[in-house]
Amino acid sequence: MGLLDKEYNSNVVLTTIDAVVNWSKRSSLWPLTFGIACCAIEMIVVQTSRFDLSRFGAEVFRPTPRQADLMIVSGTVNQKMASRVKLLYEQMPAHKKVIAMGSCAISGGPYVNTYNVVNGVDLVIPVDIYVPGCPPRPEALLDGFLKLQRMIDKETLAKKKA
């Protein structure tokens, strides 16, 4: 009974370190309580019982960036707010992820090329997932969240060869 004859007790589980680490990362994403404009209402709706983001591991929105590892940028980012967005991102612990929600956060939306609006939050911080729409439906944000979880599942702890 063992590895050679492939017979195991019922309490033995075989997996990889990557699978365990990625499972724990994707199953406990804690979003930051952070909404800038009208898309924030749709982000709040995702946490209600109808859509229930909690079933995917994002139980509660955290009140401080030091407790969160997911930032959902939902709304128009202007020049004055850009430095605050960057500061919040830098205060988040390692394994931080970003979802840009709505056309304003992705590309500036209807305010593109105005003097005070940043033409995409990806000019300020790195973005992992884009959720288009104006404002995007809660289902779209759930889909973006599931894509983020699938992206996390593909990560590895092994060092990449140059």
Cβ-based burial of 58 (10 A; exposed 0-12, middle 13-18, buried ≥19)? buried
Asked, for residue 158, whether it belongs to a domain, the answer is: no
Query: For position 113, what pLDDT does the model report?
Result: 86
The neighbour count for residue 117, using CB atoms within 10 Å, is 20
| C-alpha to C-alpha distance for 157 and 145, rounded to whole angstroms | 22
List, for residues 61-98, the tens digit of each pLDDT value. 899 999 999 999 998 999 999 999 999 999 999 889 99
**The domain spanning residue 70 has which CATH number?**
3.40.50.12280
Does residue 5 fall inside a structural domain? no
The total number of structural domains in the chain stands at 1
Half-sphere exposure of 31 (CA within 13 A, CB side): 26
Residue 160 is assigned to a structural domain of this protein: no
d(CA 40, CA 33) in angstroms, rounded, equals: 10
Domain hosting 143: range is 17-153
Residue 90, both tokens? 């830098």
Cα–Cα nearest to 120, from 85, 86, 76, 84 = 76
Q: Please give the C-alpha separations between residue 73 and each of 10, 33, 64, 154, in angstroms, as whole numbers.
A: 45, 10, 15, 23
pLDDT confidence of residue 101: 93
Domain assignment present for 56 = yes
Question: What is the pTM (predicted TM-score) of this model?
Answer: 0.86
Distances (CA, A) of 84 to 36, 116, 138: 11, 15, 25
Per the CB < 8 A criterion, the answer to whether 99 and 128 are in contact is yes
User: What's the pLDDT score for residue 15?
Assistant: 81
Residue ranges, the chain, pLDDT below 50: 1
Rg, C-alpha atoms of the chain: 19
Q: What is the pLDDT of residue 105?
A: 92
